[in-house]
Every structure is written in structure tokens, then in C-alpha cells.
């Protein structure tokens, strides 16, 4: 077996900046690097990424591999996979980190299959066992009802995707130094089997979910798209935005891009108002980091009350109008 050493982050750059999830990965990767006394490297792909490469060093990376002749967003998965495999051969890391977002969800399993690696998706914590030196991978399972801790001692490399918000984003330190290595990679175009016809970003009116300080979220209890008008009104008064659970998404009441939970966004606003949401662990996986969680539900037995800081038992149609009025008055 080849000698694998160090940690490689598959990073993402958007509009010339290292993304938040990548900064979170740097925090996690830096800790592992220090514990193992090994180097932390990152792969950045896209046009005009030299500034981002310097930024990555300030955030705590030792080696930055840059590939700047391929636009990241329009890269078909097979092309990206070939690129990562190529960098992998150069860096020979023992641990590869991805974010549990669009790219990581898609690429990490393919890479594991190709490299014969071990893999653990959607981890919330990574640690080095002080005795065995194994990588301990903690991951919510059964929709978040339980947490499993895995180790894969005999298999190298170990690929992990990390859930967003599992670590604080790394902060820059301009005194840090590191190497930036531009890499020219020639991809054999015949590996590309899927043609990416278009990438569409759906316009989000107002505040983005991952930046919102206040989120008013509705679930199956809203019972149709009309009810969301009340939620929107409350969100607007509080300077926040709207989120949904899987039911309004699957029923087509609201756009899928608003989904919060295991299969959607992970958020941590200051205030999260859960309206008509029963509190399935799969949904809580996306909002349990909220500083204050308020639940409004007509079922006093609803699981959401186990997780909430404040609760009201009642029909949202009766609860929201006076809440909106009172909030308006208090805001004045």
C-alpha cells in the first residue's frame, strides 16, 4: 500500500471567495492536521482563484493546489472527479474532506468507489483517537434519532463529507505562510459521460436562508400554500425569511429551494419560528443550531416542543395574526 499522509480539502470558491463551508472544513482539517502532525492541503478549482488561494493560506492551509483553467460551476462531475483523482495521486492524503453540499454529495461517493477508499457522509464531528490514532467519524443516522461513530483503520484513504455548520468557519491570519502550487491537469474528455446542459440558480427574493437572522418555517400543518402568506408576513415584520420542511416541498406548495433539514439547507439563525412542524429529526437536523427556537403547533404532543425554547399549543391561523400585530407594535 502506498504511503498516505496528510489531509486534503476539496474546496469551493464562489465569486472569488472561499465559501463558508470550505472555511468550516479548514477549521476541521487544521485541528486534525495539528493532532496528526501532518500537512493540510486544499484543492481549489475555477477561474481567477489566485486571491482565494492566498486567502486559504491565511485561513490555515499549508499547501494550496490551484487549477485555474476550468470553471468550477460548469464542470461536469466526471471532469471534476478526474481532476480530484489526479490531485489525489500527487498529494496522496490519508484523509479527504468535502462539504456535504451539492458537490460533495455527488463527487465523494464516486471518488470512494474509484479509489477503493472508506467513506462517511454527513459527519458532524471528526477526532483522532489518542490511543489508536484512528479517525473517529461521528455521523447522525436514522434521520438524526441516533449518532454513529465509525473508524476505518485498515482502509486508506478515508473520505469524509462534513455537514454545514458542524464547525465554526476559520478566521484569517495574514501572518500565516503556505505554498501555492498551480497544477496543469489534462483531462481526457472521453471520461465525460454526462453533458451538463444548464445550471439554474433560482432567484431568492430578499434574504438568503443561510444568512438569515430570523427564519419563519412552515410544515405539513400549514395545509396548503395559502397559509404561507401569514408566515411571510411574520417573517417580513421580523426582518427574516421563509423556510419549509419536506411536506410543503414534496406537495409542491412552496419552492424546493426553501427546504431546511437533512436533505435541504442547514441553518442557524438567532430566531427560528417553527409553525405547524411536528419536529421530525430529519427536519431538526437542519435547524437545531438555532439560538432560539419557537414552536407553534396544535398538537401538544408534537416532538417539536421537546426541542423548542418557547412553545404555543394552538392553530397557527389563530396564533399568527395577533403575533404579527404585537411584533409590529413592539418594533415601533
Q: For another protein, give the closer residue by CB, 168 or 204.
A: 204
# chain residues binding another protein, by CB under 8 A: 92
Q: Do 23 and 59 meet the contact criterion of CB atoms below 8 Å apart?
A: yes
End-to-end CA distance of the chain: 68
Residue of the chain from 17, 27, 109, 127 that contacts another protein (CB under 8 A): 109
The minimum distance between CB 180 and another protein, in angstroms, equals: 29
Residue of the chain from 282, 283, 286, 287 that contacts another protein (CB under 8 A): 282
- Establish if 130 lies at the interface with another protein (CB under 8 A): no
- Establish if 323 lies at the interface with another protein (CB under 8 A): yes
With contacts defined by CB under 8 A, name the span among 2-10, 24-32, 51-59, 143-151 that binds another protein. 143-151
The minimum distance between CB 173 and another protein, in angstroms, equals: 29
If residue 82 lies in a helix (H) or strand (E), which one and from where to where? helix 77-91
Binding mask 2-41 for another protein (x = CB under 8 A): ----------------------------------------
With contacts defined by CB under 8 A, name the span among 33-41, 46-54, 131-139, 168-176 that binds another protein. 131-139
**Separation between Cα atoms, residue 104 and residue 160, nearest integer Å:** 9
**Separation between Cα atoms, residue 103 and residue 67, nearest integer Å:** 16
- Establish if 270 lies at the interface with another protein (CB under 8 A): yes
With contacts defined by CB under 8 A, name the span among 29-37, 62-70, 167-175, 278-286 that binds another protein. 278-286
Which residues, including other chains, have CB under 8 Å from residue 176's CB and lie 6 or more apart? 57, 58, 59, 60
- Establish if 223 lies at the interface with another protein (CB under 8 A): no
The minimum distance between CB 203 and another protein, in angstroms, equals: 9
Tell me the Ramachandran region of residue 316: left when phi exceeds 0, alpha when psi lies from -120 to 50, beta otherwise: alpha
Q: Do 42 and 26 meet the contact criterion of CB atoms below 8 Å apart?
A: yes
Phi, psi of 76 (to 5 degrees): -65, 150
**Separation between Cα atoms, residue 228 and residue 316, nearest integer Å:** 10
**Separation between Cα atoms, residue 165 and residue 253, nearest integer Å:** 27
- The interface with another protein within residues 249-268 (CB under 8 A) comprises 249-252, 256-257, 262-265
The C-alpha cell that represents 129 in the structure block? 483517537
The minimum distance between CB 188 and another protein, in angstroms, equals: 15
Q: Do 96 and 161 meet the contact criterion of CB atoms below 8 Å apart?
A: no
Q: For another protein, give the closer residue by CB, 36 or 127.
A: 127
The C-alpha cell that represents 213 in the structure block? 437572522
- The interface with another protein within residues 183-212 (CB under 8 A) comprises 193-202, 204
**Separation between Cα atoms, residue 230 and residue 323, nearest integer Å:** 10
If residue 233 lies in a helix (H) or strand (E), which one and from where to where? helix 228-237
- The interface with another protein within residues 84-103 (CB under 8 A) comprises 101-102
Residue of the chain from 110, 127, 183, 289 that contacts another protein (CB under 8 A): 110
- The interface with another protein within residues 61-80 (CB under 8 A) comprises 76-78
Q: Do 300 and 294 meet the contact criterion of CB atoms below 8 Å apart?
A: no
Residue of the chain from 39, 125, 127, 150 that contacts another protein (CB under 8 A): 150
Amino acid at each position: 500500500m502506498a504511503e498516505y499522509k496528510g489531509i486534503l480539502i476539496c474546496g469551493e470558491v464562489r465569486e472569488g471567495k472561499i465559501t463558508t463551508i470550505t472555511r468550516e472544513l479548514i477549521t476541521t482539517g487544521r485541528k486534525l492536521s495539528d493532532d496528526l502532525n501532518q500537512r493540510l492541503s486544499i484543492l481549489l478549482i475555477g477561474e481567477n482563484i489566485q486571491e482565494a488561494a492566498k486567502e486559504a493560506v491565511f485561513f490555515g492551509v499549508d499547501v494550496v493546489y490551484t487549477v485555474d483553467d476550468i470553471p468550477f460551476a460548469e464542470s461536469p462531475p466526471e471532469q471534476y472527479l478526474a481532476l480530484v483523482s489526479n490531485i489525489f495521486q500527487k498529494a496522496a492524503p490519508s484523509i479527504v474532506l468535502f462539504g456535504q453540499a451539492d458537490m460533495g454529495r455527488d463527487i465523494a461517493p464516486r471518488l470512494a468507489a474509484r479509489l477503493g477508499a472508506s467513506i462517511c457522509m454527513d459527519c458532524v464531528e471528526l477526532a483522532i483517537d489518542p490511543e489508536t490514532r484512528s479517525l473517529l467519524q461521528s455521523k447522525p443516522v436514522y434521520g438524526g434519532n441516533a449518532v454513529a461513530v465509525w473508524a476505518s483503520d485498515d482502509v486508506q484513504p478515508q473520505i469524509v463529507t462534513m455537514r454545514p455548520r458542524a464547525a465554526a468557519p476559520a478566521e484569517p491570519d495574514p501572518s500565516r505562510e503556505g505554498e501555492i502550487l498551480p497544477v496543469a491537469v489534462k483531462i481526457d474528455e472521453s471520461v465525460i459521460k454526462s453533458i451538463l446542459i444548464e445550471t439554474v440558480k433560482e432567484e431568492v427574493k430578499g434574504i438568503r436562508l443561510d444568512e438569515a437572522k430570523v427564519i419563519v418555517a412552515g410544515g405539513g400543518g400549514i395545509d396548503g400554500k395559502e397559509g404561507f402568506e401569514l408566515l411571510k408576513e411574520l417573517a417580513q415584520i421580523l426582518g427574516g425569511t421563509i423556510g419549509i420542511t419536506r411536506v410543503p416541498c414534496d406537495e409542491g406548495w412552496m419552492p424546493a429551494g426553501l427546504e431546511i433539514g437533512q436533505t435541504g439547507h442547514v441553518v442557524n439563525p438567532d430566531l427560528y419560528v417553527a409553525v405547524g412542524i411536528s419536529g421530525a429529526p430529519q427536519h431538526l437536523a437542519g435547524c437545531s443550531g438555532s439560538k432560539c427556537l419557537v414552536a407553534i403547533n396544535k398538537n401538544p404532543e408534537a416532538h417539536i416542543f421537546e426541542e423548542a425554547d418557547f412553545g404555543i399549543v394552538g392553530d397557527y391561523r389563530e396564533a399568527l395574526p395577533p403575533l404579527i400585530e404585537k411584533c409590529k407594535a413592539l418594533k415601533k
